Chain A
Amino acid sequence: MKILLDDTRRRVLRIILVALLAVFGGLSVSAPALGDSVGEEYSATVFGNVKVDGEPIAGVRIVVDGGGYTAETVTDSDGRWSIGVPEVRNYNVTLDESTLPEGISVLEGGATQEVEFGLTDRVAKNFFIGEGERNETSIFDQIVSRFIYGINFGLMLGLAAVGVSLVFGTTGLSNFSHGEMVTFGAVAALIFGVGLQLPLFIAIPIAVALSAGLGWSLDAGLWRPLRKKGLGIVQLMIVSIGLSLTMRYVIQFVIGGATEQLPGFDSPKINLFGAVALSSTDLMSMGLSIVVIIAFAYWLLRTKTGKATRAISDNPDLAAASGIDVDKVIRIVWIMAASLAGLAGVLWAYFRPGIKWDMGTQILLLIFAAVTLGGLGTAFGALIGALIVGVLVEMSGLIIPADLKYVGALVVLIVVLLVRPQGLLGRKQRVG
């Protein structure tokens, strides 16, 4: 925090992102007049620009090597350099720090960095240089902004996860079709918001209401009859897998295989503080999640149905014996779970962004991770688990490649099962 607030220190650090404009300029203009060039006989070129605070630095030594080829040059009075290379492959570019002015060094990625050619035969390589040793502010800001994205994602995940937890608590079913209930909400919002062109403040409530209807009809048409039939828990679990497959492909049947967007998914980001930039939909999504979660907590803790739900989770037989209509409560739990899942689906469609028929399978495992982390069957455990998983997924992007960010959450899931299988808030007897 001190670093962020201390203005003088910030000025001393003066981190410079070296003119990105030059990169795009270099790509679009066919042959920009570059200062000192070597290897002009080759068609492929690596080039760059060395500047500190917008001031070009001349006489900086740059070395390119790779594939048995080495060439070096020094920057001209405009700070520019360009080196021709014989083939389009990866090269190592080294900036000789001893040729930089006193107190100036490469701040990020080290003095030797790799370049990779894209679709053209020209590639730009610029170094982050400036005074000071490390790029502290930037990393700190990154952590803060990732943390806030993570909270946003976690809140949304929490909406989906409490449903799984409630259903598990009251019926013992690990519902594999919950992911499709999430997708259903997003698809309903898509049909009404984009297909029928209704404004979002009408389309989203309709989507949530339809999700509630889905929950009601699934319980009335499927789960309740199966409970009456006396199906075992494993059988029910496999039925939920069949249901998940059915719903997933019905959704693909309806909306096709492409990714669709809800209106306003690309609303501009607003700079809040530091490097934290959130769009208005992000802010609304977080606000909405918090309001709904508080309302849900009130329902679970204070209302009669909420208390009955917790009683059934504790001991269904005792609850039934004390006059609670178990079937009615389970019906309400399904409606609740489905509408929260539907809302989560809409929010997730904005967060990803995009709606795709198989998006539910992706989130199902994160929901399971959240629920297991918090403790199967505990609603507030699921919320805490979801926040942890959300933050973890977003923060892990700082360390591991972005396409592996869900792996971190899934590994945590397995580690949790190893050290504390009952989860954070779960009770020990739940372990078999």
Chain B
Amino acid sequence: MDWGSILNNTLAGFLTPTTIAFALAALGLAMHFGFAGLLNFGIAGFMAIGGYGYAISVLTFGLPWWAGMLVGVLGSVVFALILGIPTLRLRGDYLAIATIAAAEIARLLFLTTAFTDVTGSADGLFGFNSRPDGSGFQNSNPIPQGTYGFGPFTYNEQTLWVLVFGLIVLTVAVWFLWALMRSPWGRVIKGIREDEEAVRSLGKNVFAYKLQALVIGGVFGALGGIIYTAAQNISPGVYVTSLTFFIWTSLLLGGAATIFGPVIGAVIFWVIQAFLSNLLPALSTSGILPVSTTQASTLRFVLVGIGLMLLVIYRPQGIFGDKRELTFVK
């Protein structure tokens, strides 16, 4: 057992493009579920649309990277409107079923061979971050070639650029959500979560507020997908319902109705994932755990599931949450 490398890889989980992507998506869910009380089980769909919107606009339409990312964000706005207009008038669990279905529709449309020319079907898309004509995301990288950082936090210039960009986006998103939630708009949104009828009786258009919340959270989700995609290729196998559930786990870990909770939840989720994905196979190869290495790496997802159940049962407000702020605990 090489404890040094296990520790090293675990610490590396603190700051990766994936962690930032999860934090952004979890922030979107915090907007949806934590603050507005909307049960969105389709956050993976928002991420997929963000990521594919970016990749397809760059590859198929030749847009520069920033315009491509903008297209990804706009795509998620359209997705939120299509999804929200029919379903936001319905009770919560209908929204849950409709959103998970919509995310699967999006994934299957990216997966089908009918649009291989544009989506690359099961293989996904690649080569959109660095473009031969110099319009790609990595072409605009201001960081000179080289290796930066120390110990577990060692990055090449490409990863560092994604991290810097991702952290800027995340900071802006956190600030934006914080500002929103202390504004009158945020108070109305929280009021809808607590008692929809009461807010309606005050003359507020509850449906419009919910739709706005769905769009804003969806944009955060899409940004998460874009950061994830900016660091690697894109393939439809990533955006399965499990991804949605992992992001829910991150959110509930930190605290659903908090600003920093989702970010910290995502970090904790990935540090634990990195720890288990290094520890369990090592335990198996050294014979302590009597299972194969493949089985050992499956075990960590079993633990995620058990963890999610225990979390919701015993500490639904998460690590940083306030139990009074959770109307879903009746």
Contacts and interface: CB of A to CB of B under 8 A. Distances in A.
Interface string A206-242: 0000000000000000000010011111110111011
B252 interface: yes
B149 to A, nearest CB: 33
Contacts of B299: 249, 253
Contact of A414 (B102, B249, B329, B330): B102
B298 A253 contact: yes
B182 interface: no
Interface stretch (B140-148, B183-191, B307-315): B307-315
A245 interface: yes
Interface stretch (A79-87, A299-307, A398-406): A398-406
Given A239-B312, A241-B248, 18 more contacts: A174-B97, A231-B312, A232-B328, A234-B39, A235-B312, A238-B312, A239-B308, A243-B305, A245-B242, A245-B245, A245-B308, A246-B305, A361-B240, A361-B241, A403-B111, A407-B109, A414-B102, A432-B94
Contact of A404 (B98, B114, B298): B114
A244 B248 CA distance: 13
Contacts of B328: 232, 234-235
B324 interface: no
B94 A233 contact: no
A252 B328 CA distance: 32
A249 B305 contact: yes
B269 to A, nearest CB: 13
B94 A421 contact: yes
Interface stretch (B85-93, B130-138, B163-171, B218-226): B85-93
Contacts of A235: 312-313, 316, 328-330
Contact of A246 (B108, B248, B294, B309): B309
Which of B92, B105, B306 has the largest count of A CB atoms less than 10 A from its CB? B105
Interface in A376-432: 376, 400-401, 403-404, 406-407, 410-411, 413-415, 417-418, 421, 430-432
A238 B248 contact: yes
Contacts of B295: 253
B104 interface: yes
A233 B327 CA distance: 11
Contact of A417 (B94, B249, B304, B330): B94
Interface of B: 39, 41, 83, 86-87, 90-94, 96-98, 100-102, 104-105, 108-109, 111-114, 240-242, 245, 248-249, 252, 291, 294-295, 298-299, 301-302, 304-309, 311-313, 316, 328-330
Interface of A: 174, 226, 229-235, 237-239, 241-250, 252-253, 256-257, 361, 365, 368-369, 372, 376, 400-401, 403-404, 406-407, 410-411, 413-415, 417-418, 421, 430-432
Given A241-B308, A246-B302, A253-B299, A403 B113 contact: yes
Contact of B87 (A230, A361, A368, A414): A414
Contacts of B96: 174, 237
Which of A231, A242, A410 has the largest count of B CB atoms less than 10 A from its CB? A242
A421 B90 contact: yes
Contacts of A230: 330
B227 to A, nearest CB: 24
A128 B92 CA distance: 53
Contacts of B113: 401, 403
A417 B309 contact: no
B313 A226 contact: yes
Given A246-B305, A406-B108, A413-B101, A232 B329 contact: yes
B312 A403 contact: no
A414 B86 contact: yes
B302 A411 contact: no
Given A226-B313, A232-B329, A234-B39, A241 B245 contact: yes
A142 B41 CA distance: 37
A51 B294 CA distance: 55
A317 to B, nearest CB: 16
A417 B98 contact: yes
B302 A404 contact: no
A431 B90 contact: yes
25 contacts: A226-B313, A231-B313, A235-B330, A239-B309, A241-B41, A241-B245, A242-B307, A242-B309, A246-B302, A248-B301, A249-B302, A250-B302, A252-B301, A253-B291, A365-B101, A376-B93, A401-B113, A403-B108, A403-B112, A404-B114, A414-B98, A414-B102, A421-B90, A432-B90, A432-B91
Question: Which A-B residue pairs are the 6 nearest by beta carbons?
Answer: A432-B91, A246-B305, A245-B305, A242-B308, A242-B309, A232-B330
Nearest to A419: B86
A414 B98 CA distance: 6
B160 to A, nearest CB: 33
A159 to B, nearest CB: 20
A237 B104 contact: no
Nearest to A418: B86
B235 to A, nearest CB: 15
A230 B316 CA distance: 13
Contacts of B108: 403-404, 406-407, 410
Contacts of A421: 90, 94
A401 B102 contact: no
A117 B41 CA distance: 42
B323 to A, nearest CB: 12
A287 B249 CA distance: 42
Nearest to B306: A246
Contacts of A376: 93-94
Contacts of B112: 401, 403-404
A432 B92 contact: yes
Contacts of A372: 94, 97
Contacts of B308: 238-239, 241-242, 245
Contacts of A368: 97, 100-101
Nearest to B107: A407
A253 B302 contact: yes
B33 to A, nearest CB: 9
A229 B249 CA distance: 21
Nearest to B33: A234
B109 A404 contact: yes
B114 A237 contact: no
A252 B304 CA distance: 14
A427 to B, nearest CB: 13
Contacts of B252: 238
A417 B100 CA distance: 13
Contacts of A242: 245, 249, 305-309, 311-312
A252 B298 contact: yes
